[in-house]
Amino acid sequence: MNADEILRMFCATEHEKREWMRNPILIDEFLYATNGHIAVRVPDAPGVVAHSFLEITVESRTLLRTMFLVDIPGPGVPIPDLTAPIPCSECGGTGHQERRECPECGGSAPLGCQKCQGDGFIVSPAPTGEACEYCEGYGENPFIPVAVAESHFDAHYLRLLQKLPNAMLHPDGMNAAACVFDGGMALIMPMAV
């Protein structure tokens, strides 16, 4: 797996309002990617198309630089074996959805509309198109906690970390957990359960 493939796994989908999170970012000698829940850092590598650090706010640059300055507690644990992902209940596992005007109210969105619950549109699974808002386009139910040491993490993000070469997780209670792998480091936020 090359640096670009690693970074793209951790970029945000088109639902993320902070557009800079949708592509890798080059800051100093490191490439970063994040979707706001998980972040990864690898050394700069040729062939990776990335945003310049000038394209993001000073606050975001500072956060990315400093969040990886963590003390790594203990020797680390392997990422546990995970069950197969559960298809997203909203998109049926396609990762995509379609918005259509509500046939009952014609999009006027009255609070009493039983069909759209006052949204003015109906969302249904689709094979292609815009990313599902619930699963962020990943096609699996989010928010499935998995216990690792004294912490819990979203199963989807643990599956991403499993793809990294020789990944070892360093849980730290409710603090961001470091995941050290051959060629880089990731940070994952634990879940409150």
Confidence of residue 42 (pLDDT cuts 50, 70, 90): very high
pLDDT of residue 8: 92
What is the tens place of the pLDDT at every residue in 118-171?
Answer: 888 888 888 888 888 888 888 999 889 999 998 999 999 999 999 999 999 999
Positive or negative: CA dihedral 114, 118, 122, 123: negative
Residue in this structure with the two tokens 């020797």, named with its chain if needed? 75
Better pLDDT: 72 or 74: 72
Least-confidence region, from 20-29, 42-51, 104-113: 104-113
Please give the angle made by the CA atoms of 26, 31 and 34, to the nearest 5 degrees: 100
Q: Is 58:66 a contact under the CB 8 Å cutoff?
A: no
Tell me what percent of the residues of the chain surpass a pLDDT of 90. Answer: 47
The residues that bridge with 41 in the sheet, in sequence order, are 32, 185
- Tell me the one-letter amino acid at 37: H
Distances in Å between the alpha carbon of 89 and those of 85, 125, 170?
A: 12, 9, 31
Kindly tell me the burial class for residue 192, based on how many C-beta atoms sit within 10 Å of its own C-beta (0-12, 13-18, 19 or more).
Answer: exposed
Q: What's the predicted TM-score (pTM) here?
A: 0.81
